[in-house]
Chains A and B, each alone.
Chain A
Amino acid sequence: MVVVRLENIKHIYPGNVEAVRGVSITFDSTFNALLGPSGCGKTTLMKIIAGLLRPTEGKVYFDDNDVTDLTPQARNIAMVFQFPVVYSMSVFDNIAFPLKVRKTPEIEVRKRVHEIAKFLDLEKVLHLDASILDINTRQRVAIARALVRDPTLFILDEPFSNIDPSQRLILRAKLKEIQRDLRKTMIFVTHDQTEALTLANKIAVMKDGKILQYDDSERIYHEPQHIFVAYFIGMPGMNLLETYLENRLLKVGEISINVPQNIRELLEPHGKEFIIGIRAEHIDVGKEPQNHKDIPLKCTLIENLGALRLLHLEGKGITLKVKITSALEIQEGMILYVRFALDKIKIFKKSGERII
C-alpha cells in the first residue's frame, strides 16, 4: 500500500532529448494507469519509478522514504513487461523463483505457487518448460511470478498488448480482482485509453514529458483539465472549438453564446481567446428546430458505427461531431438543428488548461 511520490522529475537523454520535463505527482495506493501517446515519456517515467533509470533531476519517494538511489530490488518492485520474460525452466520453478531467492521455506513456496497457479489457470502446465509455451501462457507465468511474492509496488508496462483478445479479457478481469483483493499499489503503463479506463481507478495522462491530469477515471472523461485530455480520451474525442469573448458574448464561428456574469468574471483574467469543448453525446439534434436558438448545421458525413452513428456537422463557421443512438432518419447533405445545455460546455485557455 505504498504511496509513490515524484518530486520535480526531469530526464534528459544524451543528445539533449528531454523525455520527462518536470513531473511532480503522488500516485495513490490504488490501481493507477499512466496513459499517453507513444513518445510522451511514459516509459522513461516508469523506468525512473522502478529504479531502472536514474533521473537527471528530482526525487522519487515511496511513502516518506527517498528511494532515488535504490536499485529495483531494494525498492521491492514486481514488474511485468509487454514481452513476457520467462526462464527456460518449469513453470513451477519460474513462479517459485522470487520466493527461492528470498529463501522462503519449501512448504510455503509450494503452497503459494499452487495458489497463484490456480488463480491464473496455470495448474495444468506447472511441470512444462515455460520457454516453449505460447505467448499468452508465458505472460500469465510472468504475472504469476510478479504476484507470488509480496512486493511494495507492481509496475505493468503494456502487459496485454501482445495477448489474444479473448485471453486479454480474462487477464484484465483477473488483474482487477488481484488489485481489489491484495490492495496493492499498481502502476499500469499504456497508450490505450480502453485499457486505462477499464482497469484503473486513477489515471495520469501524460503528453510531451508532462503529466496533464491525474484524476479518477470518471473525472478524466467527464472533467478533463486540459484540451489534450479532452481530445485523447473518448471516442470520438471532445469537440473543441476556438472562441473569443466579446462584450457579453462568446463568439464561436458565427454563433454567439450568452455568458452569465459569473462565468465572464472567471474568463476575463485569461484574456479574450478561449477554446470551448463539448462531448459528441451531449449534443442534441433534430430535423426540425425546437426553438429559435437551435443552430442549423449541414450534415456532411455519417459514420455508421454499428449500434450508433457519428454525424459530422458543418456550418456557421464551425464543425461538430454528434453521436446519436436513435433511429432518426438522416442523410448526408441534410440540415439538422443542434442544441446543447450550457452546463455541458467546458472552457479552456488557449494554451490548453481548463478554466470552467
Chain B
Amino acid sequence: MVFIKIENISKTYENRKVLDNVSFTINDKLITCILGPANAGKTTLLRIIAGLESPDGGCIKFDGKDVTPLKPIERKVAMVFQSFALYPHMTVFDNIASPLKIAKLPYNEVKKRVNEIAELLKIANLLNRRPIELSGGERQRVAIARALVRDDAEVYLLDEPLTNLDYKIREEMRAELRKILQERGKTIVIASPDPLDAFAISQYVVILYMGKVLQEGEVQKVYENPRNTLVGKILARPAMNFIEASVKKDEQNYRTFLSIEDEILIDVTKYRELLVEDEYLLGIRPERIILSSGKISKDYIELTTNVILTEIEGSESIVHLEWKDKRFVMFNPHIRRFNPGEKIKICIRLEDIYIFRKSDGQLVVRYGR
C-alpha cells in the first residue's frame, strides 16, 4: 500500500487551466473517489498520478518519495481507462493475460490468475470470445479484469469504471467492485461523475471542479458538512435545493430574520454576527423534505407546493415541486407517485437548513449547529 500526496499540481492545455494548484492526500487504507462533473480535470489528474502525463508544476509523492520524474512502469501503477482499448484480435483470455505475459509469468500461473479474476468479474464464460462479440458492459469488465490481474501494482487507478454500463450491471458491479478492491488491500483511486460511486464504493472523497479541489474528507462527513453550494450539488443525489433568502432586522426587539419571499421568516438572531451580508441561499437536502402532517411546530417551515412531475427511479421517487416560481426536489426512498398539478404540503425542519452566502456560495452555518 502506498500513501500518496498530491502537492500543488497544475496543468494547462492550450491556455486552458485543467488543473489549478491541486493538493490532497490519498490514504492507503481508504478507497478514494475523485468526484466531479465532466471537465473537472479528473482524467488528467489520474494520468499525472500514473505518470502518463507530467504536470506543469507541483509534485506527486508515494510514501513521501517524489515520483514525479518516474516513468509509469517505475511507479507500480495499474490504470483502467474510461475509453478502454482492448486488443481486437485477441480473445478475452489473452486480453486479460497480456500484462502477465509481458511480466513473463509461467503459463500455469497466468491461467490460474486469469480464471480467478474472470470468475470474480463474472466473465469466465466469455474467455474464448473476441471483444467485438461482447456488449459494452462486458468489455468494460474485461478492461477492469486486465488491470486487476496484475498483483505487482501498488496503486490502482480507475477512471469512471462504471460509466458506460447499463444500470442493472452498474447496480451489481458497484457492490462487486468494492468487494474486489477492498480484498486487494492496495491503494485505490476511482474517478467518477456519479455521486453514487462516491457513496457506495469509496470512503474518502475529493470533490474536483474546474480543476480545483473544493473539498476533501470522509464521504459521510463531506455529505453532512458541504463547504459550499457546489459541494452540496455534487455530492448529493439528487442535488441540494437552494432558496434565496434575505436578512430582515427587527431593530426594536433585537431580532434578525431570514425572509423567504417575504412570506416565511426564520429567526436567525443567534447567528446575527455571522450574517453580515444581505442575501443568502438556504440549502435543503431533497431527502430532508417531508410531507406535512398538518400540525407544524416552530421547528419547521411549511410550504404548499405544486407537483410538476414524479420521477420513479427504480424503487425511489423524486418529486419535482414548484412554490412561487421556485423549484424544489423531494426525495422519497420508496415509490410514491404524485400527479402533475397536484398540491401538496411539505415541511422542512429548521435544523436541516444550511445557510450559504449568496455572493460566493460558501457555507456560513448549519441551522441549529
Interface residues of A (CB under 8 A from B): 37-39, 169, 172-173, 176-177, 180, 191-194, 197-198, 217-218, 221, 231-237, 279-281, 300-301, 303-308, 310, 312, 323, 325
Could you name 15 residue pairs across A and B whose Cβ atoms are closer than 8 Å?
Answer: A38-B135, A39-B135, A172-B309, A173-B320, A176-B340, A198-B312, A232-B168, A235-B167, A280-B315, A303-B174, A304-B219, A304-B220, A305-B199, A323-B333, A325-B333
Complex Cα spacing A194 to B340, Å: 16
Complex Cα spacing A325 to B337, Å: 19
Given contacts A173-B320, A323-B315, contact A312 B175 (CB under 8 A): yes
Interface contacts beyond A193-B167, A306-B237: sample of 4 additional A-B pairs, CB < 8 Å, sorted by A: A173-B309, A176-B340, A303-B175, A304-B200
Query: Are B195 and A306 closer than 8 Å at their CB atoms?
Result: yes
Which of B135, B286, B314 touches A194 (beta carbons < 8 Å)? B314
Give the interface residue-count category, chain B: 35 or more
Query: Are B320 and A169 closer than 8 Å at their CB atoms?
Result: yes
Q: Is the interface of B mostly helix, strand, loop or mixed?
A: mixed
Given contacts A304-B200, A304-B219, contact A192 B311 (CB under 8 A): no
Query: Are B195 and A281 closer than 8 Å at their CB atoms?
Result: no
What is the chain B residue whose CB lies nearest that of A312?
B175
* Residues in A whose Cβ lies below 8 Å from that of B311: 169, 172, 194, 198
Complex Cα spacing A179 to B161, Å: 38
Query: Are A237 and B313 closer than 8 Å at their CB atoms?
Result: no
* Residues in B whose Cβ lies below 8 Å from that of A306: 195-196, 199, 223, 236-237, 287
What is the chain B residue whose CB lies nearest that of A195?
B311
* Residues in B whose Cβ lies below 8 Å from that of A218: 335, 337
Query: Are B310 and A198 closer than 8 Å at their CB atoms?
Result: yes
Query: Are B166 and A235 closer than 8 Å at their CB atoms?
Result: no
- For the complex of A and B, the 6 pairs showing the least CB-CB separation, nearest first, are A235-B314, A307-B287, A197-B312, A303-B200, A173-B309, A194-B313
Interface: B334 (CB within 8 A): yes
* Residues in A whose Cβ lies below 8 Å from that of B309: 169, 172-173, 176, 198
Determine which residue in B166, B223, B286, B314 has the highest number of CB atoms from chain A within 10 A of its CB, and name it: B314
Complex Cα spacing A176 to B223, Å: 34
Complex Cα spacing A306 to B313, Å: 14
Query: Are A308 and B333 closer than 8 Å at their CB atoms?
Result: yes
**Chain B, 325-353, contact with A by CB distance < 8 Å: what is the 0/1 string?**
00000010111010010000000000000
